């Protein structure tokens, strides 16, 4: 069993990191697109002023504000508060929020468990009355965050499932896979809570398991903790097949699409890049398209042909 847990945990982490990396790289390698920003393009969405540089006369002669930090802070704030959901649908937010927070905190709990194990390997005991502040801080943080994640996640999983089933507009668009995901996460949170309450109230065993992982000396853990560890590892393998990456792509979606108002100034690097895209070949087949010719040829050279009614 202990070998299975170690292999599953390593496999889970390696798989999710690899898959997410592949997906992110694939996303980022998608070509530059035409502008389709939506306003307000700004960090604080709740003040409804637009502040577009296009409001200025001869805007290209004036400096533009980027506000990367403001926008980043806005997105981070949204990760932790989901305030857009709160604003538009409080009933949904009530369950979605604990579900999301449960998920964020369980990841945090695992990072803390790893750090705790590492601290113990460096001879900082992670216990309540640790002589080291690092030890006691890690102990209380792990305890607080771990338990909160299990409780919040459990409440959220049950709530979001009921909400999906009870609300017609959500139910009609839900798939069996959605419900499987809710059940899966519910099982992870529930086994975590059970394990903490009945088997490992200080998460000492959990840290010991992590120490075994780091040192490649696997240890036996109680059945309750084993089930939770195994389920969590399987969850890591399952997540890349869901839409869970929206945690990350949301960031790109805002910066690269919704807030992408970068103008194409003459002589700029962007303009050079666009020139490359205009040379790509078009294979659309409608009568008004010159099949096999480039975008540039389609846009520029057809005009006089259109004039003569050759290609309309």
Partner 1 sequence: MKKPLKIEDMSKQTGQLVEIETEDLMPLPTFDGQPIKKVQLKTTTEEQRKQYDCSLDGFSALAIPHPKTIQDEEEFLKRFLSGLGKLFSKEDNWTFLQPLVHSLDYCVKCQLCSDSCPAYIASGKQEIYRPTFRPELLRRLINKYLKKQNPLIAKLTRSETELNFRLVARLAELAYRCTLCRRCAQVCPIGVDNALISREIRKLLSQELGIAPREIHELGTVQQLRVGSSTGMTPKALENLISFFEEEIEERTGKKIKIPVDKEGADMLLLHNAGEFLSWPENIEAFAILLDAARIDWTLSTELVGYDAVNYGVWYDDIQLAKIAVRHAQVAKDLKVKKINVGECGHAHKAFIVVADRVLTGDLNIPRESALPLLEDLVCSDKIKTDPGKNSFPVTLHDPCNIVRLMGITEPQRRILRKICPQFREMEPHGVDNYCCGGGSGFAIMSSMNFQDWRVQVSGRMKLKQILEAFQDVPNPEIKKYVCAPCSNCKGQIRDLLNYYDIGEKYNIHYGGLAELIVNAMVDIEKPFIDWEWH
CB-hemisphere CA count at 13 Å for 109?
A: 26
| For partner 1, the closer CB: 216 or 284 | 284
Helix 223-238 with 2-28: angle, nearest 10 deg: 20
| Smallest distance from partner 1 to CB 128, Å | 39
Phi and psi angles of residue 294, each rounded to the nearest 5 degrees, phi first? -80, 170
Query: Kind and range of the H or E element at 26?
Result: helix 2-28
- Cα 225 from chain centroid (whole Å): 27
Distance CA 205, CA 171 (A): 40
| For partner 1, the closer CB: 217 or 246 | 246
| For partner 1, the closer CB: 35 or 217 | 35
| Smallest distance from partner 1 to CB 70, Å | 16
Q: Is 66 strand, coil or helix?
A: coil
| Smallest distance from partner 1 to CB 201, Å | 35
Helix intervals (H) in 58-200? 68-81, 83-88, 90-121, 133-166, 168-171, 176-194
| Smallest distance from partner 1 to CB 56, Å | 6
| Smallest distance from partner 1 to CB 36, Å | 6
Q: Is 294 strand, coil or helix?
A: strand
| For partner 1, the closer CB: 100 or 207 | 100
| Smallest distance from partner 1 to CB 87, Å | 9
| For partner 1, the closer CB: 60 or 140 | 60
CB-hemisphere CA count at 13 Å for 283?
A: 0
Query: Kind and range of the H or E element at 279?
Result: none
| For partner 1, the closer CB: 77 or 217 | 77
229 and 135 Cβ atoms separated by less than 8 Å: no
């Amino acid at each position: 069993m202990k070998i299975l847990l170690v292999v599953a945990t390593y496999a889970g982490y390696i798989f999710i990191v690899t898959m997410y990396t592949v997906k992110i790289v694939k996303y980022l390698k998608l070509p530059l697109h035409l502008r389709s920003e939506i306003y307000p393009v700004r960090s604080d969405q709740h003040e409804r002023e637009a502040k577009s540089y296009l409001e200025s006369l001869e805007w290209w002669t004036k400096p533009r504000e980027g506000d990367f930090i403001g926008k980043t802070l806005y997105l981070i704030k949204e990760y932790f508060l989901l305030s857009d959901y709160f604003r538009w649908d409080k009933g949904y937010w009530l369950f979605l929020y604990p579900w999301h927070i449960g998920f964020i905190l369980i990841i945090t709990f695992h990072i803390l468990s790893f750090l705790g194990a590492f601290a113990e390997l460096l001879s900082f005991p992670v216990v309540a009355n640790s002589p080291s502040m690092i030890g006691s801080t890690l102990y209380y943080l792990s305890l607080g965050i771990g338990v909160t994640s299990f409780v919040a996640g459990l409440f959220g999983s049950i709530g979001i499932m009921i909400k999906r089933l009870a609300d017609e507009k959500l139910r009609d668009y839900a798939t069996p896979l959605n419900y499987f995901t809710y059940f899966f996460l519910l099982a992870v949170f529930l086994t975590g809570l059970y394990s903490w309450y009945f088997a490992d109230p200080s998460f000492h065993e959990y840290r010991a398991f992590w120490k075994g992982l780091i040192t490649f000396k696997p240890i036996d853990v109680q059945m309750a903790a084993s089930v939770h560890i195994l389920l969590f590892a399987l969850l890591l393998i399952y997540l890349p097949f869901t839409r869970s990456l929206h945690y990350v792509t949301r960031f790109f979606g805002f910066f690269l699409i919704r807030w992408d108002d970068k103008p194409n100034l003459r002589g700029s690097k962007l303009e050079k890049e666009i020139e490359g895209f205009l040379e790509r070949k078009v294979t659309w087949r409608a009568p008004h398209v010159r099949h096999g010719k480039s975008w540039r040829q389609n846009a520029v050279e057809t005009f006089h042909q259109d004039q003569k009614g050759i290609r309309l």
